[in-house]
Copies of this chain bind each other. A is one copy, B any other.
Amino acid sequence: MSVTAPRGFRAAGVVAGLKETGSRDLALVVNDGPSRAAAGVFTRNRVKAAPVLWSEQVLKGGRVHAVVLNSGGANACTGAPGFQDTHATAERVAELLEDSAGEVAVCSTGLIGTRLPMDALLPGVDKAVAELSRGDGGLAAADAIRTTDTVAKISFRHGDGYMIGAMAKGAGMLAPSLATMLCVITTDADLPAASLDRALRAATGVTLERLDADGCMSTNDTVLLMASGASGTVPDEADFTALLTEVCGDLTRQLLVDAEGASKAIAIEVVGAASDFDAVTVGRSIARNNLLKCAIHGEDPNWGRVLSAVGTTEAVFDPDQVNVAINGVWVCRNGSFGDDRDKVDLRPRDVTITVDLSAGPNSATVWTTDLTADYVHENSAYST
């Protein structure tokens, strides 16, 4: 199902020969309309891969006819020649679809700093166009964008007279060797680009954007939302946003539990914050604290490391009024030791750290992973 669950979409996933393993490495998703309204969110890294620079321009028009995605190479830090490669890829798709390249988005993922083998990639585009389908295409496309993902990530939801479908790989700002998150979401709802843009920013803001395993921001992160309007349904924007948030939350969870080298899926719930911003800031500072992430890996409820992470932020709080629970045990009360830390059971894969700032009514959840020797091994041996 995945991106072809909603009406109006065809997809394909093929072996272009970019990966040495011989696995699928090129995906194509085509919107057959009648609408082509689209929105996108991209990495905030100022060093942007060529496909990000290209697709940002495409999305400014608010319309996407097709998106072509490749694994096996990020096409980042490749200069003008790399940008020409992206352009040529979009042109090839456009030519075969008898359309303009200006409505063809491009996504790439893989090693930074090397050119893509265009002599393999362009024939791969031809093959993908030939294999476009509604049936198997969605799953094949989800498979083709995998890098170190152990499973393909897909999601779909039924709305009132319309559907949303999605596929994703990797994880933005997450642990895998190939840190890039690519995500394509489709819907047969009929909404204009401006509505899609608002809905996408709202949905990703509380889901995919709050997945933060190692603080590393990719050069290639891209989330695209394409609407075919094929259902004829014009949903209420708030309802659509809620459904889209469910889909993005589902993908976030899938990315979290499949993060490479991780043995724990950690939810950091910050409550009692003076603002949403404070809650997210505190959550991120904890999510990025290597010492704490090591402690959780060792199943050690080391709440002192939580407090020292909170203390590095500018959030509103009084150190003597912060409370911390780990898996439901309030090991820190009023900034000092609380309930017996031996009561904390850290053996399950899922870990919840609750931080009560006692400073207001706002809250947020940030998700992260533990820091493991496997993470080090996988990321130290990557490009060699």
A positions within 8 Å CB-CB of B: 44-48, 74, 76-79, 82, 111-114, 179, 214-219, 288-291, 294-295, 297-300, 302-305, 307-313, 317, 319-320, 322, 332, 334-337, 371-373, 375-384
Contacts and interface: CB of A to CB of B under 8 A. Distances in A.
Nearest to A218: B308
Given A48-B319, A300-B380, A380-B294, A288 B215 contact: yes
A175 to B, nearest CB: 8
Nearest to A81: B336
For the complex of A and B, list the 8 residue pairs with the smallest distance between their C-beta atoms, beginning with the closest.
A112-B304, A298-B380, A47-B311, A294-B379, A79-B336, A373-B373, A45-B311, A46-B311
A131 to B, nearest CB: 32
A47 B319 contact: yes
Given A308-B45, A375-B294, A337 B114 contact: yes
Nearest to A378: B294
B300 A383 contact: yes
B376 A312 contact: no
A334 B302 CA distance: 44
Contact of A383 (B46, B113, B290, B302): B302
Contacts of A78: 336-337
Nearest to A302: B383
Please tell me how many copies of the chain the complex holds.
2
Nearest to A308: B219
A293 B318 CA distance: 34
Nearest to A111: B304
Given A380-B295, A381-B298, A304 B214 contact: no
Contacts of A335: 47, 77, 79
Contacts of A376: 294, 297, 371-373, 375-376
Contacts of A291: 179, 214, 216, 379
B215 A311 contact: no
Given A298-B382, A384-B298, A113 B311 contact: no
Contacts of A300: 380-384
B383 A312 contact: no
Contacts of A299: 384
A300 B376 CA distance: 13
A51 B380 CA distance: 39
Nearest to A177: B291
A115 B29 CA distance: 61
Contacts of A373: 373, 376-377
B290 A379 contact: yes
Contact of A46 (B77, B217, B312, B372): B312
Nearest to A377: B373
A71 to B, nearest CB: 16
Given A47-B308, A216-B291, 15 more contacts: A44-B312, A47-B307, A47-B335, A48-B311, A48-B319, A76-B304, A76-B308, A77-B335, A214-B291, A215-B290, A216-B290, A216-B308, A290-B290, A291-B379, A371-B376
A86 to B, nearest CB: 14
Contact of A77 (B214, B294, B336, B380): B336
Contacts of A219: 304, 307-308, 311
Nearest to A78: B336
A380 B298 CA distance: 4
